[in-house]
Chain A
Amino acid sequence: MTSYLVVESRDPFESHGFARRCELAAALKADGATVTVFLVENGVIAARGSARLRELEELARSGVAVIADEFSLRERGIAVPDLAATVKPVPIEAVVEQMTLGVRVLWN
């Protein structure tokens, strides 16, 4: 089974690209792939529970895992208790680990 890591670095409130990438992730999942979305840089703005992003809710319903870069969260003052329930904070090493496992990385 093909696995993908979709890296999203853009602020969801600044770029329509965020929604498109979430659609891509859900479509890949529907096609039978294992898909994880990695939020990094301004992409972690989406990880806040208070953001109430429809796209994140739909990813969760689709079975797409969402992880967020701990460093980017700290840079922006986003504490772990403030994260949406479906988002898991991870160190950058998680991306390296996924790469060594052969996961295909799509960076935006």
Chain B
Amino acid sequence: MSTSLTFLLMDAPYEQSRTATAFRLLSAAVERGIGVRVFAYEGAVSLAVTQQKPHANALHGRSLEEEAHPTPHLWVSALMEAAKEKGVELDWVNCGLCVDERGATEVVAGVRRGSPADFWKMATETANTVVIPTR
């Protein structure tokens, strides 16, 4: 069985540097051919919401393209694509109760709904687990 790692994310998009750090870790794992399982908990379920939109920056006079605003759901999609190209596992589970609380139902294809029991299963089935907590 190939190596896989589990990551639990908690921060909502556009809040903390740790979201970018988490995505860098996920990307590094996939690029090395390591399978990744993500359990998105609390605000992190919004990372994959497809209604996120980039915007221009009128204050600094920058257009939409110049601003190049980060859009986390595109990062999730890119990870899915990279994993597919590498032929490695990428399982992304959003906590169902957290989804309901936030109405975060329209998400990137491939992201599935689950419960903390899925996180337990991930943690017991993969080589290692890291919890990246919110502050």
Residues of B within 8 A of A (CB): 3, 5, 17-18, 21, 24-25, 28-29, 32, 34, 127-128, 130-133
Q: Which of A41, A91, A105, A108 contacts B128 (CB 8 A)?
A: A105
Are the C-beta atoms of B131 and A107 separated by less than 8 Å? yes
Within 8 A of B (CB), among A15-56: 40-42
Chain B residues whose CB sits within 8 angstroms of the CB of A72 once the complex forms = 21
Whether B17 pairs with A9 at a CB distance below 8 angstroms is yes
Q: Are A96 and B5 in contact (CB under 8 A)?
A: yes
Cβ–Cβ < 8 Å partners of A42 in chain B: 17
The answer to whether A40 and B21 have CB atoms under 8 Å apart is yes
Closest to A17 in B: B135
For the complex, is A99 an interface residue (Cβ under 8 Å from B)?
A: yes
B18 touches A41 (CB 8 A): yes
Q: Which of B18, B25, B127 contacts A100 (CB 8 A)?
A: B127
CB distance from B2 to the nearest CB of A (A): 11
A-chain residues with CB within 8 Å of residue B24 when the two chains form the complex? 71, 92
Q: Tell me the nearest residue of chain B to A102, going by C-beta.
A: B128
Residues on B with beta carbons closer than 8 Å to the beta carbon of A9 = 17-18, 21
Task: Sample 13 A-B pairs with CB under 8 A, ordered by A number.
Answer: A40-B21, A41-B17, A41-B18, A92-B24, A92-B25, A93-B32, A96-B5, A96-B28, A96-B32, A99-B29, A102-B127, A103-B128, A105-B128
> Is A95 at the interface (CB under 8 A from chain B)?
yes
CB B32 to nearest CB in A, in angstroms, measures 6
Q: A9-B21, A40-B21, A107-B130 are in contact. List 5 more A-B contacts (CB 8 A).
A: A41-B18, A96-B28, A100-B5, A102-B127, A103-B128
